[in-house]
Amino acid sequence: MVQVKEFVDGSYTGSAEKQANQFLATLRDEQIVEVKYALINRGDNHLDKTGILVIYKTE
Protein backbone atom coordinates (compact mmCIF):
# COMPACT_ATOMS: atom_id res chain seq x y z
CA MET A 1 0.00 0.00 0.00
CA VAL A 2 1.15 3.54 -0.75
CA GLN A 3 0.67 6.22 1.90
CA VAL A 4 1.31 9.95 2.21
CA LYS A 5 2.58 11.76 5.28
CA GLU A 6 2.44 15.56 5.45
CA PHE A 7 4.71 17.89 7.39
CA VAL A 8 3.79 21.58 7.64
CA ASP A 9 5.67 24.43 9.28
CA GLY A 10 3.59 27.57 9.66
CA SER A 11 6.42 29.89 10.62
CA TYR A 12 9.29 28.59 8.48
CA THR A 13 11.42 27.66 11.48
CA GLY A 14 12.68 24.49 9.84
CA SER A 15 10.58 22.15 11.96
CA ALA A 16 8.87 20.59 8.91
CA GLU A 17 12.25 19.69 7.44
CA LYS A 18 13.46 18.28 10.75
CA GLN A 19 10.31 16.19 11.24
CA ALA A 20 10.39 14.94 7.64
CA ASN A 21 14.05 13.95 7.95
CA GLN A 22 13.37 12.11 11.20
CA PHE A 23 10.51 10.22 9.53
CA LEU A 24 12.54 9.45 6.40
CA ALA A 25 15.28 7.99 8.59
CA THR A 26 12.80 5.31 9.73
CA LEU A 27 12.13 4.16 6.16
CA ARG A 28 14.19 1.90 3.93
CA ASP A 29 15.27 3.42 0.62
CA GLU A 30 13.01 1.10 -1.36
CA GLN A 31 9.97 2.31 0.59
CA ILE A 32 10.35 5.94 -0.52
CA VAL A 33 8.34 6.72 -3.64
CA GLU A 34 8.71 10.50 -3.75
CA VAL A 35 9.27 13.57 -1.59
CA LYS A 36 7.55 16.85 -2.53
CA TYR A 37 8.47 20.24 -1.09
CA ALA A 38 6.63 23.54 -1.39
CA LEU A 39 6.93 27.01 0.07
CA ILE A 40 3.45 28.46 0.28
CA ASN A 41 3.12 32.25 0.24
CA ARG A 42 -0.40 33.60 0.57
CA GLY A 43 0.77 37.09 -0.35
CA ASP A 44 -1.42 38.90 2.20
CA ASN A 45 1.21 39.64 4.84
CA HIS A 46 0.87 36.21 6.41
CA LEU A 47 3.92 34.10 7.17
CA ASP A 48 5.05 31.64 4.56
CA LYS A 49 4.43 27.98 5.18
CA THR A 50 6.65 25.07 4.30
CA GLY A 51 4.93 21.90 3.18
CA ILE A 52 6.59 18.53 2.67
CA LEU A 53 4.82 15.41 1.45
CA VAL A 54 6.48 12.03 1.82
CA ILE A 55 4.97 9.36 -0.40
CA TYR A 56 6.02 5.92 0.74
CA LYS A 57 5.19 2.21 0.56
CA THR A 58 4.13 0.20 3.56
CA GLU A 59 4.68 -3.49 4.08
List pLDDT tens digits, range 5-45.
Answer: 999 987 667 789 999 999 999 999 999 999 999 987 777 76
Who has greater pLDDT, 2 or 50? 2
Nearest to 39 by CA among 18, 16, 21: 16
Return the pLDDT at 4: 97
For residue 12, the model assigns a pLDDT of 64
pLDDT score, position 47: 66
Is 22 in a helix, a strand, or coil?
A: helix
Alpha-helical (H) ranges within the chain are 15-24
